[in-house]
Structure 1
Amino acid sequence: MTIIERAGLVGAGVDRVDGPLKVTGAAHYPNDFSFPDMAYAALVRATIPAGRVSHLDTSAAERAPGVLAVLTHLNAPKLESGPPSFLRTPPPPLQDDRIRYYGQYVAVVVAGTAEQASAAARRIEIGYERAEPVLEIDDPRAERITNPWGMDANRGDAQAALGAADVVIDATYTTAENTNNPLGLFATVAAWDGDALTVHDSTQWPTQVRATLAKVFGVPEAGVRVLVPYVGGGFGAGLRVWPHVILAALAAREAGRPVKLVLTRPEMFTGIGHRPATVQRVRIGATRDGRLTAIDQESLSTVSIEGDNIEPCAAGATSAYACPNVSTRDRQVRLNIPWTSSMRAPGEAQGNFALESAVDELSYSLGLDPLELRLRNYAEVHPQYGLPWSSKALRECYEVGAERFGWSRRPARPGSMRDGDWLVGYGMAGISYFWYQAPCQARATVRGDGTAYVRSAVTDIGTGTYTVMTQLSAEFLGLDPGLVTFDLGDTSMPPGPQAGGSGLTAALGTAVHAACRNLVRAFLDTLAGDPASPLAGCGVDDVTVAGGRIHRNGEPERGESYTRILAAQGLAELSADGDSAPPRPQDAGMAPAGPFGARFVEVRVDPDLGLLRVARVVSAIDGGRILNEKLARSQIIGGTVGGIGMAMFEDTVTDPGTGRVANATFGDYLVAVNADVPDMEVTFVGEPDRYNPVGVKGVGEIGLVGMAAAIANAVYHATGRRIRSVPITIDQLLAA
């Protein structure tokens, strides 16, 4: 009962258990829920990036048909700030007249229909006292924050080692702001019953929404219920409790009716966070035979005026390679922009682009194959901790990926491969993602009919949590998956962490393992006083579960079924809880390892037209134990598409004159579409991780990491032109 013992269920490409509900329209997303007598809210956003509201006339809106309430800073009640968290809630809205960014909410209108609310919102007259905004990352007026999270790192003496190195690469790399843009518009439906509040919300962290709303409105947390069985995507946008969530609850309380608030697509660009822009300087020193002697990486990233976004872009350099002298520093610059927040592979997406581009540049300076340079500096143990990894198959990722891609056929000289008018290039990148696991709780129940019900208050943002946890629960309880229901998305269930950081599968899987193990123990405990039972006196490590039965190890005939035990004890069901709290590295004697991988990319460039096409991608991934290969492959493919977007298309453009996001629609904000997605091959390597009993690592974030660097490196091999900023644009490629 301490490990996964059978191979029939876990690892198989089981179809999504929630798939039929989604394709038939039976899966209810937050926007699908309603209450009797429900009203609707519409938001009014500021049209300046900095200053104050000097004039506000809501009288025309208040007289408009169907309007129930108009709330502004002039009449909104004072609200408390949310509870402390490493993903802090923005300050409560409508608390003063200050404008901090273009798109900040300055009013909310509640009416009987969505159309009435929107029409009335347009009738509000607002005047502003403008202040000079700070909008550019290089603006000398901007406040700079040094070491904002205490994560700067040093080992050895990087500066001295750079001075003594045979070869030094010193380059600056930039990444653009990106916006998450999940397909589903974020929505909140709120209904009060006295001090009890029920909320349907597009969130990746239901328990944090519950805690925040309780604190903001001063009501008991036990009276707040947050429901989110399905989310229409998130990519990190749902990790914070955004102001519109609070406004929906506030509007419902003030109007005395349930309220639904659905963001428009332009509001999604300013209301739910975005990936910050970065400027990163990377210096790498090496010997002439390709041994790294120094890495120095410094990142400057954007953050909103009041934001606290955690995005340590340079931190990955501390563990990427076996280098004796490393210095990493992260800095932030405060701007009058909407809140920056997590977007798939936060920090690592930007930091990897800079570091892996610089390593590629070094390989050409040394005359070494880019893959060989990485292998010569492979970190067998964690370079910063000096501890063995809990698991690491990056070397195998390099070897398997290179073989499947045909890397050995790559000519060394840039610009030497052509296909008609197209220049052809091969590029690669080593990839990793930091380890993360939060505490989690789960509850498992076996009923008298032999079915099981397992649950936790987490979310499934489309990654497959419903399915893999059904598989795991069935495995741990020895049941057919068809007899197991796994449920989530309801804060009345045992609390769980956010679906983010590639940490949910390990946290929840470990909690489910503990709950199921405790449940088997509870069944055995009921038999402790029954000498006639073949299981009398057995502990949980003395038994095996299979076929709906518990039997002695190695003696399948000496056991009893769940149903018989419950019937004999006169019980309708039996339940048990389990939780997970990961050990500290120093206590475990090993460094916890996140996922690793290698990217190999072929690109084609038309230098006359400035066209760039990704022709094929091979990804070799060490994700620990793969619980469902079909879903894991889907995660890598989806992340790869996002990485293509980051490398070639996505750029959230702020107008320098007004502070307005200038491309806040799908017509103007470019994302990768079907025609941009090439043939993709994904292969998984490695062994189960030792840091949790399930042996998993998350694969949601690693799917995006490395694509930007691999594409830019391939462009250099195709053209001889080094691209140090993403997205890669036509003007950078013309006449390459």
Structure 2
Amino acid sequence: MTILERPRHVGPGVDRVDGPQKVTGAARYPNDFSHPDMAHAALVRATIAAGRVARLDTGAAESAPGVLAVLTHLNAPRLATGPSALLATPPPPLRDDRILYYGQYVAVVVADTPERASAAARRIEVGYEPAEPLLDIHDPRAERLPDPWGSDASWGDTRAALDDAHVVIEASYTTAENTNNPLGLFSTLAEWDGDTLTVHDSTQWPTRVRATLAQMFGVPEAGVRVLVLYVGGGFGAGLRVWPHVILTAMAARQTGRPVKLVMTRPEMFTGIGHRPATVQHIRIGATRDGRLTAIEHESRSTVAIEGDNIEPCATVSTAAYACPNVTAHDEQVRLNIPWTNSMRAPGEAQGNFVLESAIDELSHALGIDPLELRLRNYAEVHPRSGLPWSSKALRECYEVGAERFGWSRRVPEPGSMREGDWLVGYGMAGISYFWYQAPCQARATVRGDGTAYVRSAVTDIGTGTYTIMTQLAAELLGLEQDRVTFGLGDTSMPPGPQAGGSGLTAALGSAVHAACRNLVRAFLDAAAADPASPLAGCDLDDVAVTGGRVHRVGEPERGESYAGILAMRGLDELSADGDSTPRTPQEAGMAPAGPFGARFVEVRVDPELGRLSVARVVSAIDGGRILNEKLARSQIIGGTVGGIGMAMFEDTVSDPGTGRIANATLGDYLVPVNADIPDMDVSFVGGPDAFNPIGVKGVGEIGLVGMAAAIANAVFHATGKRIRSVPITIDRLLL
């Protein structure tokens, strides 16, 4: 059975299959669901960053109109801890009187309307015994966690190589805390029926929510159903089971009624994670002709007092360039801050800014063009393991991007290019993104009318999963796309991983690939029951699927339709399951490659006002096989907007004395708007990747990576000022 050799459905930029539902308002997000007799919950948050709750006066709230319950650490049921695994759940809420960060939940009020719940929550009086909080990443009192994930790497003799290098670049860089800020406010609706729990939740990982709720409340997983048909954005914020989800289920169980909780925007800033701040130090050694001899990259990032966050930044330097001596070290600093968490391109966004800025500094010191320096140190094989890449078209990314951008027109001397009163700068960055793929399961069914239903308990966070999996299943089953329905967002379906890490397309697509192959095999087995069938004796390699029929390769007339096989065997439908578990590099004999890319940026700087604007962005991306060019291009464009935000606007500002987030609204937290975004040029290069059967890589996050460095490098080219901290604000340009 030939698969994806001459695809009909994958590749073209077809429109989203869920587009009509979204534009007509028919798509139902978690906040759109309700139940008769539904109650509403409101949260009460701590107003200190460290200490204890000394007094709780809930009397006024309990006697307020419509109030059904007030839960605090004094009366909340004791829950078990959640599963201990990747992106673990925070400890059960309301478990004791300790306060670990400003905004921590100290009470939840349940009432018959959201307005009454919020009004009653404001009537709760809380007294505290404050303690001195740890809020500064440089605070010597703060606990440091050396390499908690085993991601540190070292080979060669980095110190000796740096001592012997002809040229050494050494610098420190900082990146600010960023907050995910999906447009849709996170919400949870929980309903108990005995020990059976149904939850609608804004999550990127339904099966993790199910497992966590089951373990915490001591009920079987089979009795917990999590539904999330659509998510109003996530960017990593929906990867954990946050305390508000647990509190909603707790409130529903305590009151015996369905309970709904919709977070406010300020609560989103403290309740669903944020990108940690980092301080990074890098030293790069090279010969005079631009050959890298050593890289030493150290990163320190923030983490909550009881938090865990797998976000190594320095490891970026272990896979980007060919270098014989490399040391990468990460550590975390525990502070009294809300939980840090994945935000689009975790670790890579911050680490790439440092590495690619330092490479640019090295190119200037050596007098070598920044693009040429990167090409001279191109990693033909994986730098640490020496294994060949499963695919790599980064060289083509450089070539195509530079040509489309017009990099050859760049005048090397900083400050030498102008247009009127504006200083013009050209900057670039290379991207070598990490590989990630988790196990996944899927099920495919063909019904008696010849239509197909394929499903898995994953989510579509706006990236286009509904669409590309419909395209893929149609291709694999030989059906038109309007004959295929893809289902997701329901834990009654086969379990799937999180929509995160740019790994869902490979994981889910490989599972769908396996399920569809197994389904065609099941139809062959059904046909084989009739010796007179034209498919009798055929194996998968002997057949192709087109037009709703299974037929011999090269002989379309010798076959049977799905509907005909089912009818002749008296079956209403036929189903098959499939799963995907990625091979190890050792098993495959190759290094699994994530996406690669190159960013080219033109900026304009007003030297008198310090105003910075991005004039052009060209992105060339190696994303493996592209299943839908239109949606993939949208992902790169969307990620680029986020990268501009990281580079120029976004900064979650906390009061240094109290830990209160000072800009916890979209009116105060700056994000790029249409006027800040130029036209963008996106090209895809390369071909299918060898590490999975459908040849794909994820492109959901690489669109953000590289933008901060490319913009900072362009600012240096325009002004001669090297900015080593993001966001790049007016005050930094005027200094």
Q: Secondary structure at the match of 1:426?
A: strand
Instruction: Give a deviation string over 1:366-389, Cα, whole Å, max 9, x none.
Output: 000000000000000101110100
SS of the equivalent of 1:510 reads: helix
Amino acid in structure 2 at the alignment position of 1:457 = A
Q: Please tell me the residue identity of whatever aligns with 1:204.
A: Q
Residue 655 of structure 2 is matched in structure 1 by 655
Asked if 1 retains the 8 angstrom alpha-carbon contact of 2:448 and 2:566, the reply is: yes
AA aligned to 2:169 is: I
- Please report how far the alpha carbon of residue 643 of structure 1 lies from its aligned counterpart in structure 2 after TM superposition: 0.1
Q: Which residue of 2 aligns with 1:425?
A: 425
RMSD between aligned alpha carbons? 0.6
Segment of structure 1 superposing worse, 134-143 or 203-212 = 134-143
Query: Which residue pairs with 1:303 in the alignment?
Result: 303
* Pairing 1:250-399 to 2, within 5 Å after superposition: 250-399=250-399
Query: How much does 1:489 deviate?
Result: 0.1
Gaps of 5+ in 1: none
Report the AA paired with residue 662 of structure 2. Answer: A
Aligned: 1:540 with 2:544: no
Letter in 1 for 2:422: W
Task: Provide, for residues 105-134 of structure 1, a one-character-per-residue CA deviation record: whole Å limited to 9, x for no partner.
Answer: 000000000000000000001000000000
Identity, % of aligned positions: 83
Q: Secondary structure at the match of 1:527?
A: helix
Q: How does 1:241-640 map to 2 (within 5 A)?
A: 241-640=241-640
Match of 1:186 in 2: 186
Match of 1:732 in 2: 732
On the 8 A contact 1:6/1:475 being kept in 2, the answer is no
Aligned equivalent of 1:43 = 43
Offset of 1:721 from its aligned partner?
A: 0.3
CA offset digits 1:433-464 (Å, max 9, x no partner): 10000000000000000100000000000000
Post-superposition offset of 1:529: 2.5
Structure 1 residue 301: deviation in Å?
0.2
3-state SS of 2:711 partner: helix
Secondary structure of the 1:473 match is helix
Cα separation, 1, equivalents of 2:319 and 2:166: 23
- In the TM superposition, what are the counterparts of 1:21-32 in structure 2 within 5 Å? 21-32=21-32
The letter of the residue matching 1:614 is V
* Cα distance in 1, alignment partners of residues 366 and 5 from structure 2: 49
Q: In 2, distance between residues paired with 1:714 and 1:688?
A: 32
The whole-number CA distance in structure 2 between the counterparts of 1:64 and 1:190 is 23
Q: CA deviation at 1:432?
A: 2.0
Q: Is the 8 A contact 1:429 1:710 kept in 2?
A: yes
Question: Which residue type is aligned with residue 447 of structure 2?
Answer: R
Partners of 1:309 and 1:688 in 2: how far apart? 32
Are residue 216 (structure 1) and residue 216 (structure 2) matched? yes
- 1:203 touches 1:228 (CA, 8 Å); kept in 2? yes
Q: Deviations over 1:481-529 (max 9, x none)?
A: 0000001000000000000000000000000000000000000011223
* Alignment of structure 1 residues 681-696 onto 2, 5 Å: 681-696=681-696
Q: How far apart, in 2, do the equivalents of 1:145 and 1:446 lie?
A: 52
**Alpha-carbon distance in structure 1 between the residues aligned to 2:477 and 2:548:** 7
Contact map agreement 1:154 1:328 (CA 8 A) in 2:
yes
C-alpha distance in 2 between matches for 1:158 and 1:170:
14
Is 1:230–1:489's contact at 8 Å kept on the other side of the alignment? yes
AA aligned to 1:118 is S
Q: CA deviation at 1:6?
A: 3.0
**Residues 441, 579 of structure 1: 8 Å contact kept:** yes
C-alpha displacement at 1:542, in angstroms?
1.1
How far off is 1:575 after superposition? 0.3
* Pairwise CA distance, 1:616: 0.5
Provide the C-alpha distance between the structure 1 equivalents of 2:329 and 2:358, rounded to a whole number of angstroms: 16
Q: CA deviation at 1:5?
A: 3.0
Q: Distance in 2 between matches of 1:374 and 1:541?
A: 44
Native 8 Å contact 2:319 2:432 kept in 1: no
Contact 1:432 1:705 in 2 (8 A): no
The letter of the residue matching 1:660 is R
Distance 1:347 1:436, change over 3 A: same
Match of 1:708 in 2: 708
1:665-713: per-residue Cα shift (whole Å, max 9, x none)? 0110000100000110000000100000110000001000000000000
Distance 2:516 2:500 in 1: 24
Shift of residue 530, structure 1, vs aligned partner: 1.2
Report the alpha carbon displacement of residue 732 of structure 1 after superposing the two structures with TM: 1.1
Q: Give, in whole Å, the separation in 2 of the partners of 1:373 and 1:58.
A: 65
Return the alpha-carbon distance in structure 1 between the equivalents of residues 316 and 728 of structure 2: 23
| Contact 2:142 2:334 survives alignment (8 Å) | yes
Question: Structure 2: which amino acid aligns with 1:293?
Answer: T
CA deviation after TM superposition for structure 1 residue 2, in Å = 5.4
Alpha-carbon distance in structure 1 between the residues aligned to 2:609 and 2:343 = 32
In structure 1, C-alpha distance between the alignment counterparts of 2:2 and 2:577, rounded to whole Å:
16
Q: Which runs of 4+ in 1 moved over 4 A?
A: none
Tell me which amino acid in the other structure corresponds to 2:53.
Answer: V
Please give the alpha-carbon distance, in whole angstroms, between the structure 2 residues aligned to 1:607 and 1:91: 50
Letter paired with 1:494: P
1:680 maps to: 680
Deviation at 1:43, TM superposition (A): 0.1
Secondary structure of the 1:639 match is helix
Deviation at 1:629, TM superposition (A): 0.2
CA distance in 1, matches of 2:468, 2:151: 33
Corresponding residue for residue 130 of structure 1:
130
Match of 1:419, as an amino acid?
Answer: E
User: How many residues align structurally?
Assistant: 735
**Helix, strand or coil for the counterpart of 1:524?**
helix
